[in-house]
Structure 1
Amino acid sequence: MVDRINDIAWQAHQGSVAAIIQLLNEKLAQSCVRTRAIFSDGVLQILCEAAKVEQLEQSPLVEQIQQILESIAPRHIRRVKINSRIVREQQLLWLKEIDSDRENQLLWSQEITLIQPNIVKQLIKDFTEAQAELGKPNYPKTQVSRPLVLINKEKYQNKPKTKILAAAGLCSLLLLSWVVYAQLGNKLKNLIQPETSKSLTTENTNDRKAQTPSRSPNNSFSEPSDDPFQVSVRIANQASASGKTATTSTQWLEIAAKWQRASDLMSTVPQTHSRYQEAKIRTQLYKKYSEAAQKESGKSKS
């Protein structure tokens, strides 16, 4: 396997500007276009030079450079500004010169944004490559003399340690990306059931106790089962349970309606009720859950 220090494609993928320019010049050689580049203020500035104006036609050249860069997928590089001009003598400070007078220095310039590759797929690819390298023995090709053998032995003893650390790092990144993906997927469901799931056991106990007839002097309801607080909690529990399995827009709309019904009922709890302060809080909470379910219905397929 080619040593990474000599692998231009791998270095370009890691974000090496020198390696990126080498690959660009190789692929643009048939077009007689030469490139130079500088990474400045988060933007990869590329200068394209050719002897003739027709060799620097904007649309095809920009498209070709974008395809090359996206196939390389350089790390930490997303914004690219492509500048073009007729070839001149080598200039070390070319970016400063063209920035000072772009209208007279350039034929044209255009900024592009590279499409970001799928992070999970990229991590899997990097991890696979690291494992493949880790599994291959590293023997010196020749043994010219004893001192050289000793030097190579120390080199090859240290190299596996570096690869093990790299593989461990990639494993950590892969695990982290999976956790983030899983959390984003369940974000809404966790939003809809934060406190309801915690109080489910308590509310069920209260429901059973409420079945024992009791009447408050100032309560306008004829029987305990008509208590708006308890009815609202039962509807909220139903909405929470439905939210765990909902997948379609219609199901989410039904859940939103249940949360809204629970909020409306909770808002009717009289001030004389023993849990009036809690009812005020739940009224707003259930309303937010209803709004969240309505938003989810817009994302889901009907």
Structure 2
Amino acid sequence: MVNKINDIAWQARQGSVAAIIQVLNEKLANSGVRTRAVFDGGVLQLLCEASTVDKLEQSTLVKQIQQILESIAPRNIRRVNINSRIVREQQLLWLEEITRDPENQLLWSEEIILEIPNYFQELIKKFRDQKSESAKLILPKFQSSRPKAITNHKLKNSAWGRLSLALSLCLFLLLLGWLVYAVVNGKLKNIAVSGISNSQASTTESFIQSASTQTEDAFTQAVRIANQASADGKTAKTSTQWLEIAADWQRASDLMSQVSPSHSRYQEAQIRTKLYREYSETAQEEAEKIKKS
């Protein structure tokens, strides 16, 4: 079965910072611009570097980046802060550097808001992804020794299968349209209120309480992911493997940042948040080195 983790475009749509950087660098390669990024405080901090100032013309570069990111439509990323400067030696703590002294570190900086695709656009994109994945699973053609009658029978079954899929999709879209209409006219709310029993209300309350305690486990989850990323780093050899490791470190950092101040290990979580983010950047650099070699 095709492993989706190897599909950089799919990773980027899921919000992987490492994959987003790779897509941006590929799209901007001809313009001589290289990018690095960190997801910090709900904002994707993007650093653009080039050898000369003319390659970092603000209006042109901002428009290019916004078009690329909106075509990706990364999950849970809407605010993007674009920073630019002349290329310099690698700095693991570049975000801290430009935050501390932006006037001397940057040529310019601009924040953009990505347009949120509507639900139907997301549905179409998901359907295309599923179709693309199915195409990858098709086996190579070979000469069949079976009678033509059997082959024709298979072709008919295949055509019927495609027709069934199309009918299912149409029914789904009709149901979705009815739900939207019901919400707009206040019908869905009435149906939901009249249909909920006391036992269902109790179940809903339990689910809310369970969800509120999930942040208590963020520290443990982050440590588990970080341990796996550390182990994988000892055997990683390809650019894709390093990108996976970078994504794991970033997830671990994001989880650590969600630890509640009331948690007994809150201070440690704050330190690990920054440390894991630095490890993610290091893994991204390793992926770039292998790709260039």
| Shorter-chain TM-score tier | 0.3 to 0.5
Kindly indicate whether structure 1 or structure 2 has the higher relative contact order, using CA contacts under 8 Å at least 6 residues apart. Answer: 2
Structure with max Cα Rg? 1
> TM-score scaled to structure 2, two decimals?
0.48
Structure with greater proportional helix content: 2
What TM-score do you get using the length of structure 1 for normalisation? 0.46
